[in-house]
Chains A and B, each alone.
Chain A
Amino acid sequence: MIISKSAISGLLDKLIAEYQVYAPVKEGAYSLFKQIKSGSEADFSNKNSKIPPKGILFPQSEKLFSYSVTPEGARVDECVDSAQKVIFGVRPCDAKSLLLLDNVFKNDKYEDPYYLTRRANTILVGMGCNDPAATCFCTSMNTGPFDSTGMDLLLVDTGDNYVVEAVSDKGRELAAKLGLAAAGDADNAAAAKVKEAAEVACQVTTEGLKAKLDGNFYDEIWDRVHEKCLGCGSCTYSCPTCHCFDIVDDAVDCNGCRIRNWDSCMYPLFTLHGSGHNPRTGGKERMRQRVMHKFKYFVDNFNATACVGCGRCIKNCPVNLDIREVLADILGSEARDK
């Protein structure tokens, strides 16, 4: 199938009539996924959005339920958002990250209705990356610039057009509904060529990483890698796979609501016990947790690395602490003699 670029705005308008549509919107020099009211707001010229689109399914702050308490009981009203959504222009790394998050929000015992309901009602229209950024290392993290895993449709930019590949049934249905024209052989060939040409220059060695992390919890390397870290949350909040959250109440008298907010393992309060004891006392322990969680614990639990190589944390870190270098340092580090 094929859409001409000049028709995109109109197509988005059509979608907006039926769905909540999210697309990258330009904010100065960067772009952010936002709900758009008109197709003309969307802008696909930037590579990765500043903050990943995960917040559409798992908002930075969301109301879980509201309540009112009476002497006899409590009335609790769930706030599950079941609006139909389309995220338009999702990059492969971000689509992949949602597959990873699916593991978190549905485990062997519990299901998170907030995330899962939004997820079930969301169509992902992906956009391949003709020209990956220098900070992208997706191909080292089990995805790539035209990996359509997790998407419903994939758009391939061939210059004047987008060649559209249907990836899932949901995607096929949407394409049918939109009445997308079939692509000619020349278009398909152009798309294939674009895919061929896209090159992710940056490679990160991951071979042996898991094995190393299995045994290096007490190694000296952790004394050093965190040293310049300021302990802020710009890496975790810009990461498409980070999912830690906090739950708080906001209430006046007997009426209120329970809210969940993103939280970060880089913050000292994250693990502070009621007794005052903190199992992760300093920056070293917190940095180790972030790396271990992504590259070991997640692998132990879900057989996948919780990093998709989007490179956002690299760009957003105020002190240029580069996860690629951290991984290289770990791989190159000596084991501590115990």
Chain B
Amino acid sequence: MQKLAAAIQDAAKKLLDDQKVDLVVGFARGSLPLRSTPGFIRKSCDAGKLTWDYSCENNLANYLRKREGKVAVVAKGCDTRAIVALIKENQINRDNLYIIGVPCSGMIDRNKADELLDGKELLEVEDKGDTLVLKGKGFAVEAKLADLCHDTCKTCCYGTPVVYDMLIGEPVPAKAEDNFDDVRAFEAKSPAERKKMLAEDLSKCIRCYACRNACPMCYCPECFVDCSTPVWIEKAPDTADNMLFQSVRVLHLAGRCVDCGACDRACPMGINLRGITRKMVKEVKELFGYEAGVNMEDKPALNEFTADDPQPFLVKE
């Protein structure tokens, strides 16, 4: 990790020194344990602020849309998927972007650490390679990295950046294809059970819109939730409206969601948003064989029409 961080710093320094870019967007040390924070580096002397570890969970593609000037970004697999999708949607000009790819074998879910500690406050983390020791006042709990990993990262098959101008570190070994077990388990439930599950979870929503704003693919100038003519959805965090909010959000992300889990990680209330987004990801993959942002070549599923597109939603004679 330290080595990777040093390599990222060197790369950033060089890019800035050579005036190849005006800005490097990467990760800097955060103010909490297991927390790094997006960092914006403009001077090569500040490159030392860049870090790399298990806590670089934010999707930095979010900061790249419609950006002026030449920019470099430190990007893990899911960030690059979002970058690809955004390039295809003309939100990012590839010519002005330098991608410092960093293979990623998973980021840590602070909520899982919190649950493990049952509300006790985490103050310090000791990195022991495959395990982490979570320490606080009067306790030290050792946990396997794999157990603390975000669920998103567990199912992710694109830990190695899908595009890059420079790769730092070794590509991560290929994983078995995502079989959407989580979604299948959800689908196996009765409609009533599914509705109950969603309602229970979304009753916690406070409509902070962190999910929407953290999503690299949610960038409509006017989100339907904000529209006043007509009012599609009430502003009050009523469970039914919260469900509508997420349903429409997911529909707007059909064929565009890159399954990065940024929405899920951003939610302060710990709502399982992936459960919803991944249902759509699976649907699109099964129907159209398309995964968003995995390469520069494929045409986005909803941007293309072929005569043999499946149309299960049409009423058959």
In chain A, what residue has the closest Cβ to B269?
Answer: A50
CB distance from B74 to the nearest CB of A (A): 13
Complex contact A318–B268 (CB within 8 A): yes
Give the interface SS of chain A, mostly helix, strand, loop or mixed. Answer: loop
Please measure, in the bound complex, the distance between the C-alpha atom of A233 and the C-alpha atom of B123, giving whole angstroms. 26
Please measure, in the bound complex, the distance between the C-alpha atom of A315 and the C-alpha atom of B37, giving whole angstroms. 12
| Residues on the B chain within 8 Å of A29, using CB | 111, 114-115, 117-119, 270
Asked whether A319 and B58 contact (CB < 8 A) given A232-B214, A233-B210, the answer is yes
Does chain B have a CB within 8 A of A271? no
Q: Which of A51, A133, A224, A263 is B206 in contact with, Cβ under 8 Å?
A: A51
Complex contact B270–A320 (CB within 8 A): no
Number of residues on chain A facing chain B (CB within 8 A): 46
Number of residues on chain B facing chain A (CB within 8 A): 43
In chain A, what residue has the closest Cβ to B138?
Answer: A131
Q: Which of B90-98, B235-243, B273-281 contacts A (4 or more CB under 8 A)?
A: B235-243
In chain B, what residue has the closest Cβ to A132?
Answer: B121
CB distance from B217 to the nearest CB of A (A): 14
In chain A, what residue has the closest Cβ to B265?
Answer: A318
Complex contact A269–B114 (CB within 8 A): no
Please measure, in the bound complex, the distance between the C-alpha atom of A205 and the C-alpha atom of B282, giving whole angstroms. 51
| Residues on the A chain within 8 Å of B32, using CB | 134-135, 314-315, 320, 322
Complex contact A228–B37 (CB within 8 A): yes
Complex contact A320–B208 (CB within 8 A): no
CB distance from A53 to the nearest CB of B (A): 14
| Residues on the B chain within 8 Å of A320, using CB | 30-32, 35-37
Asked whether A131 and B137 contact (CB < 8 A) given A28-B115, A29-B118, the answer is yes
| Residues on the B chain within 8 Å of A231, using CB | 213
Complex contact B234–A230 (CB within 8 A): no
Q: Mark A200-223, 1 if CB is under 8 A from B, else 0.
A: 000000000000000000000000
Does chain B have a CB within 8 A of A198? no
Does chain B have a CB within 8 A of A321? yes
Complex contact B121–A133 (CB within 8 A): yes
Does chain B have a CB within 8 A of A303? no
CB distance from B51 to the nearest CB of A (A): 12
Interface centre among A51, A134, A316, A318 (most CB of B within 10 A): A318
Give the interface SS of chain B, mostly helix, strand, loop or mixed. Answer: loop
Complex contact A232–B63 (CB within 8 A): no
CB distance from B143 to the nearest CB of A (A): 14
Complex contact A232–B40 (CB within 8 A): no
B-facing residues in A227-251 (Cβ within 8 Å): 227-228, 230-234, 237-238, 246, 248, 250
Does chain A have a CB within 8 A of B266? yes
Asked whether A30 and B119 contact (CB < 8 A) given A51-B206, A228-B40, A250-B234, the answer is yes
Please measure, in the bound complex, the distance between the C-alpha atom of A261 and the C-alpha atom of B241, giving whole angstroms. 14
Asked whether A230 and B206 contact (CB < 8 A) given A47-B121, A320-B30, the answer is no
Does chain A have a CB within 8 A of B207? yes
Complex contact A31–B210 (CB within 8 A): no
Q: Which of A261, A263, A264, A314 is B31 in contact with, Cβ under 8 Å?
A: A314
CB distance from B6 to the nearest CB of A (A): 22
Does chain B have a CB within 8 A of A259? yes
Complex contact A30–B114 (CB within 8 A): yes
Complex contact B226–A316 (CB within 8 A): no
| Residues on the B chain within 8 Å of A233, using CB | 206-210
Q: Which of B36, B137, B208, B234 is A232 in contact with, Cβ under 8 Å?
A: B208
A-facing residues in B182-236 (Cβ within 8 Å): 204, 206-210, 212-214, 226, 231, 234-236
Please measure, in the bound complex, the distance between the C-alpha atom of A228 and the C-alpha atom of B36, giving whole angstroms. 12
Does chain B have a CB within 8 A of A108? no
Q: Which of A27, A135, A232, A321 is B209 in contact with, Cβ under 8 Å?
A: A232
In chain B, what residue has the closest Cβ to A238?
Answer: B268
Complex contact B236–A228 (CB within 8 A): no
CB distance from B88 to the nearest CB of A (A): 22
A interface residues (Cβ-Cβ under 8 A, vs B): 26-31, 45-47, 50-51, 60-61, 131, 133-135, 224, 227-228, 230-234, 237-238, 246, 248, 250, 259, 261, 263-264, 267, 269, 314-316, 318-322, 324-325
Q: List 8 A-B contacts (CB under 8 A).
A: A227-B38, A230-B62, A232-B212, A237-B207, A237-B208, A318-B213, A319-B58, A322-B30
What 3 A-B pairs are tightest by C-beta distance, nearest first?
A61-B236, A318-B266, A29-B114
